[in-house]
Amino acid sequence: MRNDYCSEGACFTVPLMGDALAWGIVARAAKDILFGYFFEPPLSGDREAQIDGLTPKTAILAARFSAMGLISGEWKVIGQIQKWNRSLWPLPDFVRYDPLGIIKPRLIRYLEDDLATSEDLGVATKPDNLLRDSLFSSGAVEITLAKILGCDSEH
């Protein structure tokens, strides 16, 4: 699916504190909600080769997130994965927790082309192996990546 500002397989930068950056790959694009994988940026070398070398297994974060960073231009599209193959970049199932802890964790699956619509598939038997069901704002993605990469405070 294609949006005016981004398409599946697009690689973009996410600015963090100071001059730090992280990279993201759009794995699903559905209106203003995206699902993507996020990575430490490479230190040097050929950008296109490094983009094509990224895989979901090397991601430091995977999440559903608002497209606002890309819409506003604060996050810059820097390339595209050549020969994009959606099946190599899966949309995983998620786990939804009851905030009161009364209901057992639920297995949630989003529609491939509508990241706002989910199905409840019943009790999640292995919730620790699933991503928590949430929708990150652009700012939340930036804060989370900064924490993961250790650039969330001045040294």
How buried is 63 (Cβ within 10 angstroms: 0-12 exposed, 13-18 middle, 19+ buried)? buried
The domain limits of the chain are 10-90+133-149
Gap between the Cα atoms of 13 and 64, Å rounded? 16
The DSSP output letter for 141 is H
Per-residue pLDDT reduced to its tens digit, 2-24: 455 679 999 999 999 878 889 99
The encoded tokens of residue 134 equal 């949430």
pLDDT at 49 over 80: no
CA distance linking residue 76 with residue 69, whole number of Å: 8
| Rounded alpha-carbon distances, angstroms, from residue 4 to 8, 29, 31, 48, 153 | 12, 10, 9, 22, 35
Give me the half-sphere count of Cα atoms (radius 13 Å) on the Cβ side of residue 144: 17
pLDDT in tens, 86-138: 999 999 999 999 888 888 999 999 999 999 999 999 999 999 989 999 999 99
Q: Compute the radius of gyration of the chain from its Cα atoms.
A: 16
Q: CB of 134 within 8 A of CB of 118? A: no
Indicate the pLDDT class of residue 41, thresholds 50, 70 and 90.
confident
Is 3 exposed, middle or buried (CB count within 10 Å of its CB: 0-12, 13-18, 19+)? middle
The confidence band for 155, taking pLDDT boundaries of 50, 70 and 90, is: very low
